């Protein structure tokens, strides 16, 4: 156990009830008693049913429980479980724990020596068998959370007799498996594994691997010390897979699964689930485990020494930490040295769209980029519609993020069309082939139409057309088709990447002229379309489920926005709302393409930070803070003048009350990095000594060298002010086109404080 003691102490287990079934529950050794394996941590919310064909063994176990006066429910029942209800023979062996419904294998006894004496047949007993399914129905048991099987080769029989309830509720199990027939005719590991995988369970690990020795063979290999005979196999439902059914990923089931993983000593899986619950359901205190996770990690000396604040998982959980709970801020031995400073980087949980605060999507699926805002905007769009009897979704997107909210807003009974993604409830047809006679009240398409008529997506080849000649205007034709399929008064929401016009091979990024073709060329009435533009301003680096800042932006400011640069996927999006005004519409798809200039993407394949992080610009971005300033020194000035200017600038930064939340970018040209660092170090030391400053939270001072126009265009939105002292600074900055950056007046600089806007962006106010 790793997390469970902390969860227990904080009361997070009070709502968790665990039901365990042990088939083959004879208690011979200490480890056969589940309480001794830490399961009693769930008490009193723990129920254990044990089954064994030996009546005396069950009586002894029940008497022992009564004598100990345990505070959980545990009962051992003398039943032989199998795949049918009927008669069977129990083969009783010399070692009682090896008795089985299968006879000992004479072939095995003849060839191997280690277990042969244990499985020596002593007698047979005729007995009745029943199934686990029948037992549960008779006892009105609705759920089994965890199953332990140890019935000497008959494990698969027990599983076959419990299909219904196991498929309905089982989250994990451990089962004995054999790799060699110890018992004649028994199923082997491969048989058990195939069955369990068909039931949606994943093999996580084996226990000790037990081997045997061949009879009268005097040699044995050090590398392969005897044939593999048996082991315990650990299985769980892997609900963290991207293709896991949303209906199975309820927070209640996930919490149980995390608890089971932890008690079975899989803390990595438990942590993955607890983080997922916190990021996706952390608004509910019952599923906010930030404090529990950080306090538990703080028990590891190596991590404490490293500094927990340096761990990416801690950065992701910061917004969910409750500083009034636990001992994260314990002054005698803090787990995070300066949590309050760490928490100063306040990632807003909401963004503003058309004047409305909407929560960022924090569901950890395909969530590095525009899905952070597209999903909540689309769900809000659907929730506010009055008429939505017939809904069409183009591209299977929303199903990956749905939960009980979908029932509330009424989008479950919708038609989903996706040509390539095979899933339950998805029509694998070409959207463009839908009959014009069909009409819908609502149509939504999240980041899909830009791919219609384009090539294969390169990272996995999961979707896209195997075509040599693409239709670069197919996305526009798809939107015209959407307009045609709307009933009069019907509404559509379509999201597409926006910025510089880009032919990405497997997508088209829209620009202003391309978007305007919807009305000028494809004849959708101008009054039927309204468009809002959003731009990403900041993203947590690096993270698989990063927090982000998106702001509403004017399209004129998005002319140079690239796709997949500097952040993964779309760096700006157009959210196109369409209202069908009348039935009269002439859909004409047989038009020659307009002569437009399509740009090539800066990053063609990379879509995640692990691919992009090597880029020097992202390394620069990692240095940025809430407020970022830039200064263009004239390095060719005489040394005395250069030092004087630099001291004014750096002195103002070091004296500012919010200095720890600032980065000063110093542009380096016509000077080596070594010489520039020498000047910077000397100036900083002089300022600290002359002004007698004690800097407890230092600003970030970072030298940057020549960057491309593309990089400069990506960096400008993150720079808040430019420090200008004289004309030489203006000439240096003008070469890179910094005219859109506000100028910082040093004489008033100390009076300006950092303010966070409702959008999440920071300003000097």
Quote the tokens at residue 77. Answer: 């029942």
| Residues 175-195: tens digit of each pLDDT | 999 999 999 999 999 999 999
- Percentage with pLDDT > 70 across the chain: 90
pLDDT value of position 336: 63
pLDDT value of position 477: 96
Pair 557, 534: CB distance under 8 Å: no
| Residues 547-587: tens digit of each pLDDT | 899 999 999 999 999 998 888 899 999 999 999 999 889 89
Query: Is the confidence at residue 528, as pLDDT, over 60?
Result: yes
Please report which confidence band the pLDDT of residue 331 belongs to, taking 50, 70 and 90 as the band edges. Answer: very low
Q: Can you tell me the distance from the alpha carbon of 702 to that of 761, in angstroms, rounded to the nearest whole number?
A: 22
Q: Per the confidence metrics, is the pTM higher than 0.85?
A: no
Average pLDDT in the 484-505 region? 96
Average pLDDT in the 483-505 region? 96
CA nearest neighbour of 745 among 722, 718, 716, 713: 722
| Cα of 624 vs its chain's centroid, Å | 25
Residue 4 DSSP symbol = H
Pair 495, 445: CB distance under 8 Å: yes
pLDDT value of position 417: 95
Segment among 1-10, 248-257, 498-507, 604-613 with least mean pLDDT: 604-613
Q: Regarding beta strands 415-417 and 426-427, do their DSSP bridges make them parallel or antiparallel, or are they unpaired?
A: parallel
Please report which confidence band the pLDDT of residue 265 belongs to, taking 50, 70 and 90 as the band edges. Answer: very high
Quote the tokens at residue 165. Answer: 């309830």
Average pLDDT in the 707-726 region? 86
- Of 283-297, 507-521, 617-631, 742-756, which has the strongest mean pLDDT? 507-521
Count of positions (residues) in the chain? 765
Q: Regarding beta strands 548-552 and 529-539, do their DSSP bridges make them parallel or antiparallel, or are they unpaired?
A: antiparallel
Segment among 56-60, 409-413, 470-474, 552-556 with least mean pLDDT: 409-413
Calculate the alpha carbon distances from 486 to 480, 489, 741 in Å: 10, 8, 44
| Residues 659-692: tens digit of each pLDDT | 888 999 999 888 898 998 999 989 888 888 887 7
Query: Is the confidence at residue 400, as pLDDT, over 90?
Result: no
Task: Please compute Rg for the chain using Cα positions.
Answer: 33
Average pLDDT in the 198-209 region? 95
CA nearest neighbour of 571 among 530, 529, 621: 621
Q: Regarding beta strands 754-756 and 762-764, do their DSSP bridges make them parallel or antiparallel, or are they unpaired?
A: antiparallel
| Residues 601-616: tens digit of each pLDDT | 987 654 455 455 446 6
| Residues 96-113: tens digit of each pLDDT | 889 999 999 999 999 998
Burial bucket for residue 236 (CB in 10 Å: 0-12, 13-18, 19+): buried
pLDDT value of position 70: 94
pLDDT value of position 3: 96
DSSP structure string for 665-719 = EEE--SS-HHHHHHHHHHHHHHHHHHTT---SSPPEEEEE----HHHHHHHGGG-
Q: Can you tell me the distance from the alpha carbon of 704 to that of 375, in angstroms, rounded to the nearest whole number?
A: 37
Cα angle 307-308-312, degrees, rounded to a multiple of 5: 120
């Amino acid at each position: 156990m790793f997390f469970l003691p902390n969860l227990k102490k904080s009361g997070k287990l009070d709502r968790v009830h665990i039901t365990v079934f042990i088939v083959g529950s004879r208690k011979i050794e200490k480890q056969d008693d589940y309480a001794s394996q830490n399961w009693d941590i769930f008490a009193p919310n723990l129920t254990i049913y044990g089954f064994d064909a030996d009546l005396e063994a069950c009586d002894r176990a029940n008497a022992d429980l009564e004598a100990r006066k345990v505070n959980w429910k545990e009962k051992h029942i003398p039943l032989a479980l199998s795949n049918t209800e009927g008669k069977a023979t129990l083969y009783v062996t010399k070692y009682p724990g090896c008795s089985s419904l299968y006879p000992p294998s004479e072939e095995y006894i003849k060839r191997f020596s280690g277990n042969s004496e244990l499985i020596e047949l002593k007698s047979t007993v005729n007995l009745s068998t029943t199934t686990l399914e029948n037992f549960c129905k008779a006892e009105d048991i609705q759920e089994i959370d965890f199953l332990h099987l140890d019935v000497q080769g008959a494990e698969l029989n027990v599983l076959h007799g419990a299909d219904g309830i196991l498929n309905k509720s089982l989250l994990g199990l451990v089962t004995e498996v054999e790799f060699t027939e110890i018992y004649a005719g028994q199923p082997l590991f491969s048989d058990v594994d195939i069955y369990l995988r068909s039931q949606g369970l994943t093999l996580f690990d084996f226990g000790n691997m037990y081997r045997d020795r061949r009879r009268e063979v005097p040699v044995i290999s050090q590398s392969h010390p005897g044939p593999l005979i048996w082991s315990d196999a650990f299985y769980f439902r892997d609900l963290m897979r991207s293709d896991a059914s949303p209906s199975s990923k309820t927070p209640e089931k996930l919490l149980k699964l995390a608890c089971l993983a932890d008690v079975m000593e899989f803390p990595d899986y438990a942590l993955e689930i607890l983080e997922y619950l916190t990021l996706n359901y952390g608004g509910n205190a019952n599923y906010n485990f930030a404090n529990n996770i950080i306090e538990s990690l703080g028990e590891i000396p190596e991590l404490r020494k490293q500094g927990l604040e340096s761990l990416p998982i801690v950065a992701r959980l910061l917004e969910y930490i409750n500083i009034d709970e636990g001992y994260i801020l314990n002054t005698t031995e803090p787990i995070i040295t300066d949590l309050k400073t760490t928490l100063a980087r306040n990632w807003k949980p909401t963004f503003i769209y058309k004047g409305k605060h909407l929560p960022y999507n924090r569901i950890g699926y395909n969530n590095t980029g525009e899905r952070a805002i597209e999903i909540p905007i689309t769900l809000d769009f659907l929730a506010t519609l009055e008429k939505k009897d017939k809904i069409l979704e183009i591209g299977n997107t929303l199903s990956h993020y749905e939960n009980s909210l979908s029932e509330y807003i009424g989008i479950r009974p919708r038609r989903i069309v996706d040509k390539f993604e095979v899933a339950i409830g998805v029509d694998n047809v070409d959207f463009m082939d839908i009959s014009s006679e069909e009409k819908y009240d609502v149509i939504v398409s999240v980041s899909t139409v830009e791919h219609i008529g384009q090539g294969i997506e390169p990272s996995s080849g999961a979707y896209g057309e195997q075509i040599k000649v693409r239709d670069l205007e197919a996305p526009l034709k798809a939107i015209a088709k959407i307009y045609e399929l709307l009933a009069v008064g019907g509404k559509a929401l379509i999201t597409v990447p926006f910025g510089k016009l880009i032919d990405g091979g497997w997508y088209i990024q829209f620009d202003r002229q391309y978007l305007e073709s919807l009305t000028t060329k494809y004849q959708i009435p101008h009054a039927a379309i309204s468009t809002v533009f959003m731009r990403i301003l900041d993203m947590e680096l690096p993270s698989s489920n990063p927090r982000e800042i998106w702001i509403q932006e004017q399209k004129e400011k998005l002319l140079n926005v690239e796709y997949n640069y500097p952040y993964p996927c779309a760096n700006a999006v157009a959210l196109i709302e369409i209202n069908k005004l009348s039935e009269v519409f002439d859909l004409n798809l047989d038009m020659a393409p307009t002569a437009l200039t399509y740009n090539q993407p800066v990053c063609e394949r990379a879509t995640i930070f692990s691919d992009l992080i090597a880029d020097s610009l992202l390394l620069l971005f990692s240095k940025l803070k809430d407020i970022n300033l830039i200064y263009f020194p004239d390095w060719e000035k005489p040394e005395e003048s250069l030092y004087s200017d630099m001291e004014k600038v750096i002195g103002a930064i070091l004296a500012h009350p919010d200095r720890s939340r600032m980065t000063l970018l110093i542009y380096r040209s016509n000077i080596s990095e070594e010489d520039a660092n020498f000047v910077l170090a000397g100036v900083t030391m002089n300022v600290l000594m002359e002004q007698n400053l004690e800097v407890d939270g230092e600003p970030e001072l970072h030298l940057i060298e020549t960057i491309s126009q593309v990089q400069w265009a990506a960096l400008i939105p993150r720079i808040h002010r430019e420090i200008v002292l004289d004309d030489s600074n203006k000439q240096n900055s003008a070469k890179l086109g910094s005219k859109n950056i506000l100028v910082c007046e040093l004489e008033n600089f100390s009076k300006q404080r950092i303010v966070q806007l409702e959008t999440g962006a920071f300003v000097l106010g």
